[in-house]
């Protein structure tokens, strides 16, 4: 996907700050985008990117490309990386979404679930040695006072 914004680099923790900064830039350059839409989109992007940082192999040496487009009806992004394929736990899927951990006091396992509920579309594909996460949030109408 070619987008309005592109970021390339290694999937290391420091790159997450670059993603935060990029989304801040999007907010400043697209004032018409609802703050809630961008906030939830940013939440999902950081979860997916954090997942790649944590689980991407070879660890610390996975190159990624992030493309983001601001469209009239949606925010869309694709995060692609050249790491190994992910072994996703499909059992955690329900109705096309990842479920929250059953244990309220679990200390991990919420990332994909949180990204799922923040987005309208979350899709993972492995094609030609490249992992691609597609993230879409439909822009909500602003309620007029």
Residue among 1 and 121 whose Cβ is closer to other proteins: 121
Dist. CA 42–CA 21, nearest whole Å: 10
95 binds other proteins (CB under 8 A): no
Residues from 31 through 50 that contact other proteins (CB under 8 A): 35-36, 39-40, 42-43, 46-47, 50
CA-to-CA dists, residue 67 to 45, 78, 106, 145, angstroms: 11, 5, 32, 34
Q: How far is the CB of 51 from other proteins (least distance, A)?
A: 9
C-beta of residue 62 within 8 angstroms of C-beta of residue 52: yes
CB 81 within 8 A of CB 99: no
Site string for other proteins, 99-128 (x = CB under 8 A): -x---xxxxx-xx-xx--xx----------
Q: Between 80 and 98, whose beta carbon lies closer to other proteins? A: 98
92: DSSP letter = G
Report the alpha-carbon distance of residue 58 to residue 96 in Å, rounded: 28
Residue 16 binds other proteins (CB under 8 A): yes
**42 vs 81, which CB is nearer to other proteins?**
42
Strand partners for 80? 65, 132
Q: 40: which 2 tokens? A: 């939830």
Contacts with other proteins, residue ranges (CB under 8 A): 13-14, 16-17, 20, 35-36, 39-40, 42-43, 46-47, 50, 53-54, 100, 104-108, 110-111, 113-114, 117-118
């Amino acid at each position: 996907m070619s987008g309005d914004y592109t970021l390339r680099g290694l999937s290391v923790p420091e790159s997450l700050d670059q993603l935060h900064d990029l989304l801040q830039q999007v907010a400043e350059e697209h004032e018409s985008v609802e703050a809630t839409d961008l906030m939830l989109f940013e939440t999902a992007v950081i979860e997916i990117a954090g997942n790649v940082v944590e689980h991407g192999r070879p660890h610390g040496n996975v190159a990624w490309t992030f493309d983001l487009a601001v469209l009239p009806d949606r925010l869309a992004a694709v995060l692609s990386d050249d790491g190994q394929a992910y072994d996703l736990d499909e059992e955690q899927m329900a109705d096309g979404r990842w479920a929250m951990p059953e244990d309220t006091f679990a200390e991990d396992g919420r990332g994909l679930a949180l990204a799922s509920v923040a987005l309208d579309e979350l899709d993972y594909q492995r094609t030609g040695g490249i992992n691609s996460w597609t993230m879409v949030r439909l822009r909500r109408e602003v309620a007029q006072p």
